[in-house]
Amino acid sequence: MYAQCPECLSVFSLGAQALVQAHGYVMCGHCGAGFDSLATLSDQLPPEPFQELPLNEQALAPPRLELVVYRPKPPPPVVVQVSPPAPPATEDFSQLAFAPRFAKDARKRKPARAARRHRAHQDTGGQRRWPWVLVCGALALLLAAQLGWVNRDNLIRDPRVGAWLRGACGLLHCRLPLVAAPKQLHLLASDVETHPNAAHALMISLSLRNDAAFAQPWPVVVVTLSDAQGHRLSMRRLLPTDYLDDPVVLRRGLAPGATTALLLEVQDPGDAAVAYQFDFE
């Protein structure tokens, strides 16, 4: 999704996490102004060049949601049963019986036989319990693997966990998925000149280095052209497929510590464009 700063007219790409953090209120990374991103929030950008994104008009009545995807079940009612008070106990000696001595000896031998049966039952219970322990351990490992797969991007970016994963993947001859970290892309040099073969076009060459310890996907290059007063004249977002043709190179990504040169072609906004800015997404 995209939103536009009302002060400098910069268009930013943002996701649901950025909207949730401050309920749509964000800060412009170009001029520092704060604004409501929901006012110009849009799924797609209009064809370039454009000046301002259309404003989202607020409806008079809130929209009614009809498509239900999940509804939790209400908890069962708690029924409290009150038992009647027990009658007072009275001592009754009419049922007393006197056992002979041999019966008392038999009663003394019964606890020993009961203890042996209890130990045998414990041994059988232990033999029956180990399959459940094995199943619970396998389910715990499966849950840990699922959590690791969901948070794989953060784990690969982590210096310690990512280094361990890369070492294990090197031993197993596997390949970790590419993780984007545009803040660790360093622009070494840039050059803008008139396109030698196309009229009203510019040729931009960039020298880029990946300072991350892991391979990154090729970035989205955002080119902003401004006049001498700092007013933006044109902005273009170039996808990796716009400046790379080799699918093998695209799939392999930018290796850690590698330096590469990018050749971009954009439309010339005229002689008024004297300032250039390059960002990576």
> With contact defined as beta carbons under 8 Å apart, do 187 and 207 qualify?
yes
Round to whole Å and give the CA distance between 1 and 14. 6
In the 8-state DSSP scheme, what is residue 92?
Answer: -
Distances (CA, A) of 137 to 9, 91, 125, 129, 151: 55, 55, 19, 13, 21
Sequence letter at residue 4: Q
The CATH architecture that domain 182-280 belongs to is Sandwich (2.60)
Half-sphere exposure of 91 (CA within 13 A, CB side): 1
User: The whole model's pTM is what?
Assistant: 0.42
Domain ranges in the chain? 2-39, 144-177, 182-280
Per-residue pLDDT of the chain (281 residues; tens, 9 = 90+): 889 999 998 999 988 888 888 888 999 989 999 988 888 888 888 888 888 888 887 766 777 777 777 778 888 888 777 776 666 666 665 665 655 555 555 555 556 666 677 676 666 655 677 788 888 888 888 887 777 667 767 777 776 777 777 777 777 777 778 888 899 999 999 998 888 888 888 899 999 999 988 889 999 999 998 988 888 888 889 999 988 989 999 988 999 999 999 988 888 888 888 888 999 99
Picking from 228, 226, 224, the residue whose alpha carbon sits closest to that of residue 278 is 224
Q: Hey, what are 83's tokens?
A: 């038992």
